[in-house]
């Protein structure tokens, strides 16, 4: 499949999603039956980049944007009827294709302090409030003001700031649940996450797949210490065989490293639960201000992450929070104007596609900036502001004819739900 590349913007943003790919997938899924009725390429790009249209994110504002981009008019009902489960599947497949291309890029070298990892990934989830009529499909936890809410689970690549994997569930699903069956994709990668993912079985699965993890240890956790690995300067005490909560108050070292043993039940198989024990590396770093220890659990060794670097490495987890902020800012995920599950998912997939593609542009611009600062949050605001102009560039080669703005204003300004004499507009009623 070949793609037209008329300008640098289209080259960077549209190369992962060329026209032929979009048309091929749309035809296979039955999204478009008669091409003369809808330009599916313009339609898809409107869903991806049309988040800046209108003061509020609505299906009506997306339709107006599509008409400008394609150069032809489409009836309100006909446009709304295009939002089908097949369209949702199309956006999902296109998103998976973009994420696959991103994952297959040659990983960057992050730095000498974290050698031996193919990728550094951060896990987290964010909650999206939905229309109350979706409470059955997406039950929320706060039924008094948010009876319906979805939870967007994401794994991001810390190095390039791009989404790596996503899952969408209801709000009541636990953060770690979608990732309990981790596969070979974790091999060679370091996964960083907060206490929402604190699960020894998950840690076991990551290690089993030859991946690495770094997590905070719960304050009440009390694993048995197998071996003292040393640490910073300070008085030594015999800790082997003792429990962590017995040892921690007596420590006076800046850092403390040990091999600890934890126990957990594996998932039930044929009605039987198997109890397992695993040994991991524990790192405790004393906070001089509070004189308390921050305790971490990992399966890395000291050559991969040193005790002195563990706090800085764990702080990389906050990059996923910036990613969610960027996603809400660019994709307007606080505005999901539908009571239909497949439409909500379509809009979410479109927003994540916009984010993933914008990261390609950001990476290129940073190279052109020659070392000058280009913060991600600033770029996200600029990208959002210019999204309409970017969409015009992306669809210019598909536009059938110049938009008749007068005809569009006349057509769009008429409210089909009102008749003369029943309007609340005072001037109209005179």
Tens digits of residue pLDDT in 310-357: 999 999 888 888 888 888 877 788 778 788 999 999 999 999 999 999
Q: Is the dihedral of CA 77, 350, 378, 317 positive or negative?
A: positive
Confidence band (pLDDT; 50, 70, 90) for 265?
Answer: confident
Instruction: Find the mean pLDDT for residues 115-123.
Output: 86
Strands 139-142 and 119-129: unpaired
- Would you tell me how many other CB atoms lie within 10 Å of the CB of residue 341? 20
Q: Is the pLDDT of residue 410 over 80?
A: no
Q: Is the pLDDT of residue 144 over 70?
A: yes
CA 16 – CA 403 distance, rounded (Å): 28
Q: Is the pLDDT of residue 292 over 50?
A: yes
Nearest CA to 211 out of 282, 279, 116 is that of 116
Residue 333: its pLDDT value, please? 82
Strand partners, 258: 228, 282
Q: At how many degrees (to 10) do helices 40-49 and 387-395 cross?
A: 160
CA 37 – CA 341 distance, rounded (Å): 25
Q: What is the pTM of this model?
A: 0.85
* Cβ atoms 217, 313 nearer than 8 A: no
Can you tell me which residue has the tokens 């905070």? 216
* Cβ atoms 200, 274 nearer than 8 A: no
């Amino acid at each position: 499949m070949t793609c037209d590349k008329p300008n640098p913007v289209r080259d960077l943003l549209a190369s992962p999603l060329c026209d032929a790919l979009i048309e091929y997938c749309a035809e296979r899924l039955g999204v478009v039956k008669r091409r003369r009725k809808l330009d599916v390429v313009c339609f898809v790009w409107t869903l991806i980049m049309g988040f800046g249209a209108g003061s509020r994110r609505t299906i009506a504002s997306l339709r107006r944007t599509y008409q400008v981009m394609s150069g032809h008019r489409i009836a309100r009902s006909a446009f709304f009827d295009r939002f089908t489960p097949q369209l949702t599947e199309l956006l999902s497949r296109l998103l998976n294709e973009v994420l696959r291309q991103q994952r297959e890029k040659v990983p960057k070298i992050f730095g000498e302090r974290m050698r031996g990892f193919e990728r550094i990934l951060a896990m987290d989830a964010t909650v999206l409030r939905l229309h109350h009529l979706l409470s059955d499909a997406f039950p929320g936890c706060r039924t008094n003001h948010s009876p319906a809410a979805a939870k967007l689970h994401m794994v991001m690549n810390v190095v390039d700031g791009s989404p790596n994997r996503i899952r969408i569930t209801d709000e009541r699903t636990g953060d770690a649940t979608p990732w309990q069956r981790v596969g070979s994709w974790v091999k060679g990668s370091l996964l960083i996450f907060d206490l929402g993912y604190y699960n020894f079985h998950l840690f076991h699965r990551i290690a089993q797949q030859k991946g690495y993890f770094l997590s905070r240890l719960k304050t009440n956790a009390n694993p048995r210490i197998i071996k003292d690995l040393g640490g910073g300067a300070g008085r030594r005490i015999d800790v082997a065989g003792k429990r962590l909560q017995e040892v921690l108050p007596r420590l006076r070292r800046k850092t403390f490293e040990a091999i600890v043993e934890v126990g957990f039940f594996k998932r039930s198989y044929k009605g039987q639960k198997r109890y397992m024990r695993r040994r991991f590396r524990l790192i405790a770093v004393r906070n001089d201000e509070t004189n308390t220890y921050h305790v971490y659990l990992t399966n890395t060794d000291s050559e991969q992450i040193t005790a002195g670097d563990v706090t800085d490495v764990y702080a990389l987890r906050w990059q996923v929070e910036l990613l969610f902020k960027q996603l809400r800012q660019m994709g307007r995920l606080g505005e999901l104007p539908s009571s239909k599950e497949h439409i909500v998912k379509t809009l979410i997939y479109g927003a994540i596609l916009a984010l993933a593609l914008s990261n390609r542009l950001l990476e290129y611009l940073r190279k052109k900036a020659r070392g000058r600062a280009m913060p991600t949050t600033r770029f996200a605001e600029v990208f959002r502001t210019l999204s309409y102009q970017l969409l015009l560039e992306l669809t210019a080669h598909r536009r059938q004819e110049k938009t008749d703005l007068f005809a569009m204003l006349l057509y769009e300004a008429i409210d089909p739900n009102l008749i003369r004499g029943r309007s609340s507009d005072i001037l109209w009623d005179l």
